[in-house]
Amino acid sequence: MSRIGKQPIAVPSGVEVKLDATGRNIDIKGAKGNLTFHWRPEIEVTHCDDDKQICCAIAENADDNRQNSAFWGTTRARINNMVEGVTKGYEKKLKIVGVGWNAKAQGQTIVLNIGFCHSVPLEAPADVKFEIDNNVNIKITGPDKQAVGQFAANIRSKREPEPYNGKGIMYHDEVIIRKAGKAFGA
For the chain, list the domains and their CATH numbers. 9-87 (3.90.930.12), 90-171 (3.90.930.12)
Q: Which one is predicted more confidently, 186 or 4?
A: 4
Q: How far apart are CA 7 and CA 92, in angstroms?
A: 27
Over residues 94-152, the pLDDT tens digits come to 999 999 999 999 999 999 999 999 999 999 999 999 999 999 999 999 999 999 999 99
pTM > 0.85: yes or no = yes
Scored b (16 or more CB within 10 A) or e, 57-86 reads bbeeebeeeeebbebbbbbbbbbbbbbbbb
Over residues 143-185, the pLDDT tens digits come to 999 999 999 999 999 999 999 998 999 999 999 999 988 877 6
